[in-house]
Amino acid sequence: MIKVNGENVENIAGKNVAEYLTESGYDIKRVAVELNGDILPKSQYSDTILKEDDCVEIVSFVGGG
């Protein structure tokens, strides 16, 4: 099981982070991703494969300031 934003998500192990974000409807240009306690550099999204017991936090920035 992989935890995404505090919720258990099934059947995503093996996908890379870029794939998961796109399939889940995130706009990659607006997100920051924490993987197991560290901010994942954007350049590594395509090469980082999600695996069992990963803990992912995704922040999708909204406009205004």
Binding site for another protein (CB under 8 A): 29-32, 34, 37-39, 41-43, 57, 59-65
Q: Is 26 helix (H, G, I), strand (E, B) or coil?
A: coil
The angle at the Cα of 13, spanning 2 to 23, to the nearest 5 degrees, equals 95
Residue pair 14/49 in contact (Cβ under 8 Å)? The answer is yes
CB of 43 to another protein, least distance (A): 7
User: Could you tell me the smallest distance in angstroms from the CB atom of residue 44 to another protein?
Assistant: 9
Least Å distance, CB 46 to another protein, is 14
**What's at 54, amino acid-wise?**
D
For another protein, give the closer residue by CB, 39 or 49: 39
